[in-house]
């Protein structure tokens, strides 16, 4: 709403100028009245009215900013407008209004945060449930479910609220909630989280929490809470505001005192108008955002670049972020000298080839097609495993208790399938989440780019998390975390290690992306939860390449370097012109024209943010 209001201000000022020109030159407007030497023709009255209204509006914004502890350069714009009104230089006044409202509009374009954070999350919130009443299915609204109700969850359906299984056994995909890369088997008595997705078997569940208290809905609430309490951040241009304002007022005040003419103060204030300062950073930021887009990174707000350039802590989700969320064979361990590793994997993959379970499909995919043989007498035991005949051998693949009762003491911490051949335990195959090939280099480059702390936040099991972290080169590992605990981990980062950048890809990452100073989503099409994560993030990587985080940091650092040079150049040039105006050789109108020249210099310098960052900024050079 605020952005729309600023755009309308700019449009009104442009229309006012057009009406003023028509009134002065086409209609030859005459003065309606005069005060002393000041004449008030129609066009002057129109522009003065708009100028006064704009000045009042700006003053209200300034007072609001002061209450929140923010001190900007807008006060100089108000003084410049009032000064030109008092000396009767209407077109100098109008040009100040154009640059002031135009600068605001450009700034809004560069830094306006998209207000769509919750849309995808809310769209996927379970709304309808299959309530069981006397053995009959009745569709009801999720919000109408009461604790104690019984709900049927069909294959492929989302769990509507938190509950406990009372009948049936099935596997549930919780990856978008907890980050676990493998579906979890749930039996009667086990808890189910709302938002998880049922596998192949229908189950009955008793409701243990109302919708508003359930896991998925609490994630939505966490996003709202984090969005309502954004981290405080001081924009770059504001850091120069107080010294620039003080210097300009001193120059103008001394000019008035020395000359004894208030017009001299107005002339200094016109050239002291902060338009170049207001435009410098936004132009650089727009250029930086354009450069980001060329590198397949969408940045939603200008301050994101400022925070990224100064970031000291980087946090990463595991599943789908550091890893590809795709299981690959890790180890093949044989327990029978009759079979080598190749033959054991061949027998297991052959039996699993018709199963739709993620572990089965991953094993088949990781096995050479020539090693997969026909299977007969295939039988699947729900949530336990499969068995069948391959090359004259009866092969069972699945849980240890199903494959080889009596071997339960075997301690395997990784995701694994166990194999028996003709009733004898033959070994097991472990699988792991496939690491992105660029993950370790990304972490290494981030350290070169100035990262002081890098941590992994995941809902997956400790052993799995530590193994991935070691491979990626991360020592700070937080595992088995719920979304609320991820947020707390981000909030606990000390002030001297901020800003914090969080990178993730799933629904469960949405709250922590919003809570971080900068949230970066892996938003490539087809990723689970990518839409929700993308909507909650400040920046979105549109390709499946985590090294784009390095590119984002490099472009941000380069953009802010250009922006700082631009702002300081603008300040330096404006102060020089102020000193010239001090002598009285620059009338207010020509001072406004000079402001345009400075604006053009500022815009030209800001466009340099589109140039390529250095290898050092990209983290390609050793420190």
Distance CA(139)–CA(146), nearest Å, equals: 14
Burial class of residue 1 in the structure, from the number of CB atoms within 10 Å of its CB (0-12 exposed, 13-18 middle, 19+ buried): exposed
DSSP letter, residue 320? I
| Spatial CA neighbour of 528 closest among 516, 512, 544, 548 | 544
| Spatial CA neighbour of 97 closest among 16, 3, 187, 33 | 16
Which whole-number Å values give the CA distances from 571 to 23, 84, 151, 239, 275, in the listed order?
36, 21, 67, 12, 10
Give SS3 for 26. Answer: helix
Distance CA(440)–CA(468), nearest Å, equals: 10
Which residue out of 48, 74, 162, 317 is catalytically annotated?
Answer: 317
Partners of 130 in beta bridges: 139, 152
DSSP letter, residue 319? I
Peptide bond before residue 499 is cis, with ω within 30 degrees of 0: yes
Q: What is the gyration radius of the CA atoms in the chain, in angstroms?
A: 33
**Is residue 200 within 8 Å of 155, Cβ to Cβ?**
yes
Distance CA(165)–CA(533), nearest Å, equals: 29
- What's CA 167's distance to the chain center, in Å? 40
User: Residues with Cβ < 8 Å from 406, sequence gap 6 or more?
Assistant: none
| Spatial CA neighbour of 266 closest among 49, 496, 89 | 89
Whether 453 is catalytic: no
A 10 A CB-CB count for 340 gives 13
Q: Which residues are catalytic?
A: 317
């Amino acid at each position: 709403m605020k952005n729309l209001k600023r755009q309308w201000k700019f449009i009104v000022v442009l229309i006012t100028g057009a009406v003023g020109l028509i009134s002065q030159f086409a209609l030859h407007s005459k003065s309606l009245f005069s005060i002393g030497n000041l004449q008030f023709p129609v066009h002057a009255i129109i522009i003065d009215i708009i100028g006064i209204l704009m000045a009042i509006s700006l003053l209200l914004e300034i007072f609001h900013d002061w209450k929140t502890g923010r001190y900007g350069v807008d006060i100089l714009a108000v003084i410049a407008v009032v000064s030109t009104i008092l000396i009767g230089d209407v077109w100098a006044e109008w040009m100040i209004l154009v640059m002031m409202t135009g600068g605001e509009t450009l700034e809004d374009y560069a830094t306006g945060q998209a207000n769509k954070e919750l849309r995808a999350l809310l769209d996927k919130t379970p709304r309808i449930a299959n309530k069981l009443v006397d053995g009959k299915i009745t569709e009801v609204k999720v919000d109408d479910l009461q604790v104690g109700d019984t709900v049927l969850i069909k294959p492929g359906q989302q769990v509507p609220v938190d509950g406990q299984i009372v009948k049936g056994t099935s596997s549930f995909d919780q990856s978008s909630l907890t980050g676990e890369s493998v579906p979890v088997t749930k039996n009667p008595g086990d808890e189910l989280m709302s938002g998880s997705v049922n596998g192949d078997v229908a189950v009955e569940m008793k409701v243990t929490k109302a919708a508003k208290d359930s896991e998925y809905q609490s994630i939505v609430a966490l996003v709202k809470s984090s969005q309502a309490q954004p981290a405080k951040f001081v924009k770059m241009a504001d850091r120069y505001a107080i010294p620039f304002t003080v210097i300009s007022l001193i120059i103008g005040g001394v000019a008035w005192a020395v000359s004894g003419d208030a017009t001299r103060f107005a002339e200094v204030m016109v050239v002291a108008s902060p338009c170049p300062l207001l435009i410098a950073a936004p132009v650089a930021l727009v250029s930086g955002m354009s450069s980001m887009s060329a590198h397949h990174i969408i940045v939603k707000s200008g301050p994101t670049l400022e925070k990224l350039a100064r970031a000291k802590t980087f946090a990463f989700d595991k599943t789908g972020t550091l890893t590809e969320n795709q299981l690959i064979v890790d180890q093949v361990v044989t327990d029978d000298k009759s079979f080598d590793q190749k033959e054991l994997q061949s027998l297991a993959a052959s039996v699993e080839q018709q199963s739709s379970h993620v572990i089965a499909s991953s094993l088949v995919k990781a096995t050479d097609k020539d090693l997969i043989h026909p299977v007969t007498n295939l039988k699947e035991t729900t949530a336990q495993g499969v068995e069948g005949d391959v090359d004259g051998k009866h092969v069972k693949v699945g849980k240890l208790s199903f494959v080889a009762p009596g071997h339960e003491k075997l301690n395997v911490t990784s995701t694994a399938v166990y194999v028996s051949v003709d009733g004898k335990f033959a070994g097991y195959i472990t699988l792991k989440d496939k690491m992105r090939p660029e993950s370790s280099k990304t972490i290494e480059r981030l350290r070169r780019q100035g990262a002081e702390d890098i941590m992994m936040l995941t809902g997956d099991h400790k052993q799995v998390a530590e193994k991935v972290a070691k491979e990626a080169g991360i020592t700070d590992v937080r595992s088995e975390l719920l979304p609320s605990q991820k947020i707390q981990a981000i909030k606990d980062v000390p002030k001297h290690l901020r800003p914090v950048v969080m990178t993730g890809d799933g629904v469960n990452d949405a709250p922590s992306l919003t809570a971080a100073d900068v949230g970066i989503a892996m938003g490539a099409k087809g990723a689970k939860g990518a839409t929700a994560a993308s909507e909650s993030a400040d920046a979105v990587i549109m390709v499946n390449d985590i090294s784009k985080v390095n590119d984002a940091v490099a472009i941000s650092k380069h953009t802010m370097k250009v922006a700082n040079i631009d702002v300081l150049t603008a300040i330096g040039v404006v102060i020089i012109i102020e000193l010239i105006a001090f002598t009285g050789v620059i009338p207010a109108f020509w001072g406004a024209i000079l402001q345009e020249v400075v604006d053009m210099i500022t815009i030209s310098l800001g466009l340099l943010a589109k140039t390529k960052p250095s290898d050092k900024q990209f983290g390609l050079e050793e420190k």
